Structures are given as structure tokens and as C-alpha cells.
Structure 1
Amino acid sequence: MLQKISNSRFLGHGPIKILYPGTAVSDRDTGIGSIGRIDHPEIHGNTVIKIHPHVNDEILSYFRTGKAEHSDSEGFVKMIGKKTLMLMKAGKSFYHEEKIIGEGEPLEGLQIFIRPGKKDLKPEVVFLELEDIHSENQWRLLASPDPETTFQFSSQTWLYDVKLLKNSSIQVPELSKENLTALLYVFQGAVVVNDNIALTKKDSLLYQNEKVVIKASEDAELVLFVTDESGEIFKGGMYSGNQM
């Protein structure tokens, strides 16, 4: 199964565009397994996203340009950006605020809302300092359910990224289990999958049990989400949960 999800499925008229990936395949769930929602902000200038709650969401802040000062109800205050990523694991109650520093380059990246494995887990905030901004032509595992990664999801969810240079080709990572569902997201650039599916910025491709080969038509930044749809998840999160 290979299904393209066009960038036209994004919602929102402001600087933050919202994708509910499940709406491309179902009228019963706005998410796909543990992948609840993907936001793609492009914010120019100084902006404050005032303090607001999250309940039963696991949010990975993956910014590729710009920076923001994060503060939260757990007492953390830290600048995040292209080399400092953050995972907020909001259980029963969690509040945070972002002050976007608009000097120089805009803030652009992803806010990834993953469904937790269980309801009302203990809130936790984890930061990841990357050695390099990009992993060129090689997949980088950023988050998983396993202790091998600094970012550890409570659900059966894996997250990879790669910067694929123009005319380079790469296969998707070999997955640890059968019957996992994957969503390939084009953050920047353009690629062709299996010689016949063209994807550009904000397009994505859903696949399961398929051989997938990606070739970059131009330099491309890709993010790969993998979920076990048979795994235990809580679908009632404030932002990650099923909105139907």
C-alpha cells in the first residue's frame, strides 16, 4: 500500500499549518495509529505563543531554522532550535509558553503530536542536543519506544530524519517489526519515490509492507514517522487525540 497525501490537506490560514494524517484514509480517526497531528509552523518576526495547556499529548519540537525560548510548568526554561530539540510528555496536566526570537531567520519546523501509550502519565520534558543539524544521506533515529534513544515515546512510535542530497537515492529504514505503518514527510525540497511518485514540500506518503526507494530531485529534508497501529495508545489527548 502506497498512498500520497497532498500538501493541500493542511488546515489553517495563519503561520501554522495543521495536518491530521488520518483524514486522508478514514472518516473515523484524524490520526494514524499513534501519529495524531503534525503542525508545520513558518513564523516570521518576534512572536509569543502564550502559556497554554496540553493533556495526554507527547509533543516533539523539531525546528530546522530559527529559535524559541521555551518555558513550562515543570520549571524548564531553555532556548530550542535547529540543534536543540525537545520532547514534552504531557500527562494529566502540563502548561508551556514559547517566545519566538525573530531576528535573522524565521522559525520553521514541525510540532509533532504523538499519542501516548496510556492516559495520565507523569509529565516529563527532555532535550536532545544534536551533534549536526542534518544527517546527510543517512537515516538518523531521533525517537523510539526504546531506551537507546534520548527521546522515548510511551507508544510504539519511531521517528527518523535525513537530508537527501540532490540526485542521491536512499531506501527507507528496515523496520523492527512486520505490519508497521509509516508516513514519509517532505519538510523541504522534492523527491521521487519508486520512480513514479513525486513529492514536494509538505507532501507525504503513507506505506505499509512496501519496498520504498527515494531519489532527491533537489536537496530534500525528510522526516519518517513509523507507528504500530496494533499497539496500545490513548486517543483522547487534547491535540493528538481523535478529533472526529
Structure 2
Amino acid sequence: MRIERPSAARGRVQAGWLDSRHTFSFGQYYDPAWMGFGPLRVINEDRVDPGAGFAPHRHANMEILSYVLDGGLAHRDSTGGGGVIRPGELQWMSAGHGVEHSEFNASDAEPVHFLQIWIQPSRLNHAPAYAQRAATPLSSAWTVLASPDGADGSIAIRQDARLRAVRLADGDAAAFERDPSRLYWLHVARGTVDVDGQALSAGDALGWADEAGPLSVRGAGSDAEVLLFDLPR
């Protein structure tokens, strides 16, 4: 089964300083047909004005990943975690039994553009935790950014889920072999690609359940950056 989620069909919330697109229901945007995909609960594409951001607020029992596309995102939380996330870096905050954090544009002059991703943990009420993965140049081969065991220098998260990323120039191709016992969600972060003959642009997404065999992603025009979530049922 294949699921299509075009960029234009996502929810949108604008708050003056914030322009946010929601793949799944979140905050003011609610659609019972789009409550998540397996343990993948949130993919928000946020653009935040210079100097603005999210004041301290609380979360619990969620694996929260932040992936910056342009600019810098300043983070601080009650575990002592904090710093500025730049393009190509990945930040992980496991909210566990409860954590308070804030996120602000690190610049007073330039906007920040980033993805915030929530994945439900495999069990509840861990101690909160924080980590940040240094930027590693992406290539046309899949790079593991997050995994349950920290494989290949990835961040170890508290769920049997893997986040992979790839960067494709026009004509570059990346393949992935799907396991029918798993769920897969592909999100185009930037650029344009062809996925098994279907054209996708930034913000578009596809999901698969009960699918086996190779998945082919090919760059189709401007340089593309693609995220692939490998998820348990």
C-alpha cells in the first residue's frame, strides 16, 4: 500500500513570526485522517523570523529530532542540553518523563528553516536525554542519521526506527530495499526527485506499508535532499 501526502495538502499555521507546514495533525491543525504514521507522529516544516522562536514549554514521552535546512536554531532545555544547530546537523531530545525546552532563531538578521520531527518512544518515562550529531556531508548513498543502536555514528534514539538521508544531484540515484514487515515514510526536504516514476518536490511525501522490493529515488533537476524513515508497525 502506498500513501501520498502532497506538500500543498499539509496543514498550515502562520503566526506572524512563524510559517509552519504540518504533515500530520499538530496544535491548531487537526485532521483525523492524518494523526501520524506508525510511531512517526510529527513532521513540521518551520520557518522562523530573525530573533523569534518558541518560548520555554514542556513535553513528555516523545523522541524529538530537529533538522536544520537553512540558518541556525538555538536550543536550550532543562536537562542542560543546548547549542546552535546548523544545516546538516541533527539534534535529538528525548522528552522522557518530562522536559522543558525553548527553540529560537539564532540570528537577528536571517530566517531559520528547519524540520521538527516527533517519534513515539518504545516505552514511556525514560529519563530525559539530549544529543547533537555533527554535520556530515551527505552523498548519493543513504546516510544513517538516527537509529536504535547508534550505528555508523548515528544518534541512538529510544525506538526501533531509523532515519536516513541522501543528497542527489540531477541524475543521481539511490536505492533502498524494503522489508514488508516495516513501514517507510519518505519526505523530500528540498529539491525535486523521481521516486519509482513519480515526480516529487520539496514538502511532498510518500508512505509504504506491506511493500517489499527496491525503492528507487533519482534526482530530477535541482539538488535534492531526501529523508527516509524506516519504522516498526
TM-score (ref. length: structure 1): 0.83
Aligned length in residues = 220
CA distance in 1 between partners of 2:99 and 2:206 (Å)? 32
**CA distance 1:105–1:138, change in 2 (3 Å):** farther
1:158 to 149, 159, 162: 162
CA distance in 2 between partners of 1:83 and 1:186 (Å)? 15
What corresponds to 1:76 in structure 2?
81
- After superposition, what is the alpha-carbon deviation per residue over 1:118-176, rounded to whole angstroms, capped at 9, x for unaligned? 111110011111233xx12111000111132441121111100111111222212x35x
2:175 to 171, 176, 179: 171
SS in 2 for 1:12: strand
CA distance in 1 between partners of 2:146 and 2:173 (Å)? 23
**CA distance 1:77–1:192, change in 2 (3 Å):** closer
CA distance in 2 between partners of 1:108 and 1:212 (Å)? 28
**CA distance 1:127–1:223, change in 2 (3 Å):** same
What corresponds to 1:180 in structure 2?
182
Shift of 1:102: 3.3
Kept after mapping to 2: 8 A contact 1:34/1:156: no
SS in 2 for 1:20: coil
CA distance in 2 between partners of 1:105 and 1:184 (Å)? 29
Q: In structure 1, what residue type is equivalent to 2:40?
A: I
RMSD (Å) for aligned C-alpha atoms:
2.0
Runs of 4+ in structure 1 over 3 Å off:
26-29, 102-105
**CA distance 1:104–1:45, change in 2 (3 Å):** closer
Shift of 1:85: 2.2
- After superposition, what is the alpha-carbon deviation per residue over 1:47-86, rounded to whole angstroms, capped at 9, x for unaligned? 1310000111110111121112211111223111214421
What corresponds to 1:201 in structure 2?
202
**CA distance 1:167–1:79, change in 2 (3 Å):** same
Kept after mapping to 2: 8 A contact 1:2/1:210: no
What corresponds to 2:47 in structure 1?
42
Alignment pair present for 1:212 and 2:231:
no
Alignment pair present for 1:228 and 2:229:
no
Kept after mapping to 1: 8 A contact 2:162/2:231: yes
SS in 2 for 1:8: helix
Kept after mapping to 2: 8 A contact 1:83/1:130: yes
The structure with higher relative contact order (CA 8 Å, sep 6+) is 1
Q: In structure 2, what residue type is equivalent to 1:171?
A: A
